[in-house]
Amino acid sequence: MNTKRILLGMFVVLVGLSLSSFCNKDDDRNFQVAKNLDIFNAIFKELDLFYVDTINPEKMIQNGVNGMLQLTDPYTEYYPEEEMSSLKEMITGKYGGIGAVIRYYEKKDRIAIIEPVEGMPAAEAGVKAGDIILSVGGKEMVRGDMKPQDFSSKVSDALRGEPGTSFILKVLRPQKNDSTVMEFKLTRKNIRNNPVPYYGMVHDSIGYLSLTGFTDNCSKDVKKAFIELKDKGAKALIFDLRDNGGGSLQEAVDIINFFVPKGKEIVVTKGKIRQAAGSFKTTSEPIDAAIPLAILVNGNSASASEIMSGSMQDLDRAVIIGTRTFGKGLVQTTRQLPYNGTLKVTTSKYYIPSGRCIQAIDYAKKNADGSVARIPDSLTHVFYTEAGREVRDGGGIRPDIEIEGDKFPNILFYLMNDDLIFDYATQYCLNHPEVASIDSLQITDADYADFKKLVKEADFTYDRQSEQVLKTLKEVAEFEGYMEGAEAEFKALEQKLNHNLDRDLDYFSKPIKEQIAEEIATRYFFQRGAVMQRLKDDADLKKAIEILTSPEEYRKILSVRN
C-alpha cells in the first residue's frame, strides 16, 4: 500500500513538473512576444522624437511590417485599406473600370493600352492596343518624377471607379505616317476577367477548354463550356491549365466534381490550429464521370491548378501532360486588421487524395543569405494513386507524359522588353485593317523582313548569355592561372561568338515569329485569338490528341505498370 502511494505521489510530481515545464515554455514565449513588441514600439517612439529629420510614420511602420513578412513566405501579405481593391480583384476577378490592360511605354514616357478586353467598355468604344493615354477625365497623365510602376498605378486608379460613372479618355493613336489625338467617352462597368477565354473542338470528337484562373464562379463558366462541347459531339476533353496560377480551392473542387462521383474526398488541409484543418469533398452528381480527359500543365501551373491536376492524377481520372508544375501546396486565408486592413496569411498545407502535399519549397528552412531552394527529388516520398500507380510529393505535379518545354531565347526577351514586337504588331495592324480568321493569320517571310528592318532601325542591342558566361570563364581562368596557355583558344571562341544580329534574328526566327503572331492575333481576336494562335503548333496539344484518340494507350497510362 505504501509502495502504491509512493508511486502515485511520484506520478503526480512528474505530471506536475511536465505541466510546469509546458506552462513555463508557453509563458516564456508570451514574454518574448511582449518584450519584443515593447522594444519595437520604444524604438519607433525614440526615432519619432529625437531623429534629426521628420520621419514618415506610415512608411516606416510599413517597411517594418514588410521586413517581418519577408521571414514567412511570398504569399503572406499585408493589404492596407487603400490596396483592398487589388486583393478583391485577385480573389474575385472583378473590378469597376473600362476593361483594358495598360503598361508603361518607355518610348513615349506614357502609359499605353496593351489589350482592351473583349466586350468591355474600352473595346466597345473603339479603344485599341497601341493607343497612348494622354488624359483621363480632363486630367493629363504625365509621369513627372514618379517611378514607372507608380505612374502605372496612378493611371490605373484614374481609369477605375464606380460602375455607371463616365469620363473622357484622350489618347494618341499611331497612324501610318503620323499620330492623331482621339477622344472616347467611356462609362465604367463591373469588369470580370473571363476565366475561360477559349473553348472549342480541336478534333472530330475532342473538345478543348482553356482555364486561366480559379476566380469566383469560374466553375459556372467551365460547366457552360463543357456542356456546349458535349452538345457539339465531344467524346473526350483536353483541359488546359498551363500558366494558370490558381485561385479558389473551392472552385477547383467544384470543377473536379464535374468529372468525379459525389462523396470523393479531394483535398484535406492541415495547419497549426484546429480552424485551419478541413476536408473538401465532391457534393453533387458529376456531369460525366467517364469521359476521357487530358490535362495540360507547365511550370506556371500552381496552387488550385495543382489541386485539380494532382487530384485527377491521384484518382486515375485524367492523363496529365506537359512539364512539372510549380509546387505550391500552401493555403491562404484573409484576416481582418484594424483600420480596414487585411492580412492574407498562409494557414495550412493541402493534401490531395493520395495523401501527398506537393509544396516544393520549405520556407521555414531558409539559407543564411535568405534564399530558399526546392526540395530535392531524393528527399521526396512515394505515394500511390487509387489504381496503385506511384506518385511523389514535394515538387509539384509530375505529368504522366512529360513534354520538353519550349526554350525562351534570350533575344526574344529583349525584343519584348524593348516593345519591338508590340510596335511591329501596331504597324502590322495599320497595314492590315482586317484579318479574316485566325487560320488565315501567318507571319510571312516578307512580314519578318519588315520586322527585322524595324529592329535594326531601333538600334537594338541585347546582352547575350554566351558573352556573359565567356567573360566569367576568362576571369576564373586568369584567377586560377590557366589563361596563359588557353589565350589562343579564348580568342578563337570570342570570334565564333561575335555578335551578329542578322544571324540571331534568323536563327531564332521560329519562336520570334510565333510571339509576333500571338501579339497580332490578340489585336484582332482578343484573348481567345491568342489561345487559338498558340494551339496551331502545340506539342502538348498534339500529344493529348494522340492519347485521347487511342483508348488502349489512354487506359494503359492510367493503370499500374507491371
Active site residues: 303, 314, 328
d(CA 210, CA 529): 12
Cβ contact 129:424 at 8 Å: no
Please name the helix (run of DSSP H) or strand (run of DSSP E) that holds residue 240, with its range, or none: strand 236-240
| 200, 231, 298, 389 from 259: Cα distances, Å | 18, 16, 22, 20
> For residue 154, how many C-alpha atoms fall within 13 Å in the half-sphere facing its CB?
20
358 closest CA partner among 386, 315, 326: 326
For every residue of 20-65, DSSP letters joined together read: HHHHHHHHHHHHHHHHHHHHHHHHHHHHHHH-SS---HHHHHHHHH
d(CA 291, CA 264): 17
d(CA 111, CA 153): 10
Pairing assessment for the beta strands 265-271 and 236-240 based on DSSP bridges: unpaired
Where does 350-419 have alpha helices with state H? 410-417
| 386, 402, 430 from 561: Cα distances, Å | 13, 17, 57
Residue 390 bridge partners (DSSP): 384
- DSSP class of 404: P
For every residue of 208-219, DSSP letters joined together read: EEE---B-TTHH
d(CA 220, CA 90): 18
